[in-house]
Amino acid sequence: MNRIFNKAGKVWSMISQNVLFNSFFRIIGFVKVLLKPTGKGDILIITSGVGDSALYRGRHVAEELNEHGFRARTTTQDNLRLLKKINEFSVFVLHRVTCSSKIQQFLKLAKQRGKTVLFETDDLTFDVNHIKKSNAYKNMNALEKSQYDEEKIKCLFGKDNQIKYATTTTEKLASHLKRKNKSVFVVPNKLSKLDVEVADKILKEKNKHADNKIIIGYFSGSASHDRDFASVSSALIRILEQYKQVKLLVAGPVNLGDKFEKFSNRVIRTPYVARHKHFENVASCDINIAPLEIGDDFCESKSEIKFSEAGLLQVPTVASATEVFRKAIENGKNGFVAESESEWHSALKSLVESKELRKSVALEARKTVLSKYLTTSDGNSEYYNFLRQKIDGNF
């Protein structure tokens, strides 16, 4: 019953953000995944739903594993045959599942049959103290908040330290998981082979702006990013005041604040859209921004997705100087990192004023993404070796 309430909360959250049309297709997508047979294999990744988080940590990770010789499959925790899957796989990865009675039964049976279970997350949602202090939590409705209960989180780590291993997206998140006495493997977010095909097609068809405008894009995804956007808003206001040819494209329900009202004719708003349309929107921009609250554990744990998606589409990124962005971006070469308003303004100013700089940085960004951030890229050998050991010996 709690599982149903949580789902209802998420659906209502999408509808209340004026994305009813897209919410319908996301729900249809969930039903398709629910009914799709998984077959048998080595590794089963179990997700809580079908959103972008499940896409990257479910299907994309499975694709990466399959590219490296494993038989990996994905499903959701609502799979009606989930308990039967315990006999069909050796390793199970639980990505942000909620602590339902079925999951508790699943963990009990997995322990009895000596299966390997890993906890998986791409966000700091497993630390109740941190999540309740975050802006993301404050923007949730009551039904969504109900899943962040101390006892429910403890359940997902497994009783008696049953779940000893974990995977996650960044070193920062790994450090938090290690404090929970987990052996952690960092498995970065990767772009799929289909993403590359879609991006290549978009780039072939991409046209320059007929009016010679320069578009700065911010792709928030949810209302939880209001404070992230606020960290760059002053620099953006200065840019809009200085350069009349600049427009701002904002995706998602983020609140821009009163300061942007005078630029309303130069602000383009777009709701949550399907992935291929999202890629088209990113490609339509000349500059991509990825602001985060520096020093906030929740924000510092975010991955470099905004850089990799934009880079694949040959769009230069200016990002907050968090640990993960500083690791991915070579400042001034394949992107820019900024910590203060002056650094944000300087980076944006340089890109706005120089078409050549935008092009050179964009090409370097794509080169970085193609070498490091695809499911076909190498780089997780420690995790692969661990999985092979568990699959071959299952101990």
Pairwise CA distance, residues 2 & 220, whole Å: 28
Query: Residues 39-66: what's their mean pLDDT?
Result: 93
Same domain, yes or no: 160 and 83: yes
pLDDT of residue 368: 98
Does residue 63 contact residue 192 with C-beta atoms inside 8 Å?
Answer: yes
Same domain, yes or no: 249 and 219: yes
Question: Which residues does residue 216 pair with via DSSP β-bridges, in sequence order?
Answer: 248, 287
Domain count, the chain: 2
> Residue 194: pLDDT above 60?
yes
Each residue of 11-43: pLDDT tens digit? Answer: 444 444 444 545 555 555 555 555 667 788 999
Question: 124-128, 171-175, 221-225, 337-341: which has the minimum mean pLDDT?
Answer: 221-225
- The sheet that has 246-251: what strands, in order across it? 267-270, 246-251, 214-219, 287-290, 317-320, 336-338
Query: Residues 307-332: what's their mean pLDDT?
Result: 97
Query: Residues 194-213: what's their mean pLDDT?
Result: 86
Sign of CA dihedral 112, 75, 124, 173: positive
Each residue of 97-155: pLDDT tens digit? Answer: 988 889 999 999 999 999 999 999 998 888 777 777 766 677 667 766 766 766 666 67
134 or 320: which leads in pLDDT:
320
> Residue 275: pLDDT above 60?
yes
Sign of CA dihedral 300, 224, 187, 160: positive
Residue closest to 307 by CA, chosen among 342, 341, 331, 272: 331
Same domain, yes or no: 153 and 227: no
- The sheet that has 165-168: what strands, in order across it? 72-76, 43-47, 91-95, 116-121, 165-168, 183-186
Each residue of 335-349: pLDDT tens digit? Answer: 999 999 999 999 999
Same domain, yes or no: 86 and 140: yes
Same domain, yes or no: 326 and 227: yes
Each residue of 229-252: pLDDT tens digit? Answer: 999 999 999 999 999 999 999 998
Same domain, yes or no: 303 and 389: no
Secondary structure of the chain in HEC code, one letter for each residue = CHHHHHHHHHHHHHHHCCCHHHHHHHHHHHHHHHHCCCCCCCEEEEECCCCHHHHHHHHHHHHHHHHCCCCEEEEECCCCCHHHHHHCCCEEEEECCCCCHHHHHHHHHHHHCCCEEEEEECCCCCCHHHHHHCHHHHCCCHHHHCCCCHHHHHHHHCHHHCCCEEEECCHHHHHHHHCCCCEEEECCCCECHHHHHHHHHHHHHCCCCCCCCEEEEEECCCHHHHHHHHHHHHHHHHHHHHCCCEEEEEECCCCCCHHHHHHHHHEEEECCCCHHHHHHHHHCCCEEEECCCCCCHHHHCCCCHHHHHHHHCCCCEEEECCHHHHHHCCECCCEEEECCHHHHHHHHHHHHHCHHHHHHHHHHHHHHHHHHCECCCCCCHHHHHHHHHHHHHCC
CATH value at residue 348? 3.40.50.2000
Same domain, yes or no: 297 and 218: yes
Same domain, yes or no: 161 and 282: no
Range of the domain at 381: 2-190+375-393
CATH value at residue 53? 3.40.50
Average pLDDT, rounded, for the chain: 87
Question: 5-9, 135-139, 300-304: which has the minimum mean pLDDT?
Answer: 5-9
Query: Residues 154-175: what's their mean pLDDT?
Result: 83
Query: Residues 51-75: what's their mean pLDDT?
Result: 95
Phi, psi torsion values for 196, nearest 5 degrees: -65, -45
> Residue 300: pLDDT above 60?
yes
Same domain, yes or no: 165 and 269: no
Q: At what angle do helices 20-35 and 2-16 cross, to 10 degrees?
A: 150
For the chain, percent of residues with pLDDT exceeding 70: 82
pLDDT of residue 299: 86
Query: Residues 61-86: what's their mean pLDDT?
Result: 94
pTM exceeding the 0.85 threshold for the entire prediction: yes
Same domain, yes or no: 288 and 274: yes
Same domain, yes or no: 111 and 218: no
Question: 16-20, 90-94, 182-186: which has the minimum mean pLDDT?
Answer: 16-20
pLDDT of residue 391: 95
pLDDT of residue 157: 67
Pairwise CA distance, residues 126 & 169, whole Å: 14
Query: Residues 73-88: what's their mean pLDDT?
Result: 93
Q: Give me 312's structure tokens.
A: 């694949």
Same domain, yes or no: 109 and 229: no
Pairwise CA distance, residues 355 & 331, whole Å: 17
- Cα–chain-centroid distance for residue 148? 19
Sign of CA dihedral 296, 298, 304, 310: negative
pLDDT of residue 268: 95
Rg of the chain taking only CA atoms, in angstroms: 21
> Residue 210: pLDDT above 60?
no
Pairwise CA distance, residues 158 & 111, whole Å: 10
Residue 366 carries which side chain, given as an amino acid letter? R
Most confident of the ranges 96-105, 184-193, 216-225, 288-297: 184-193
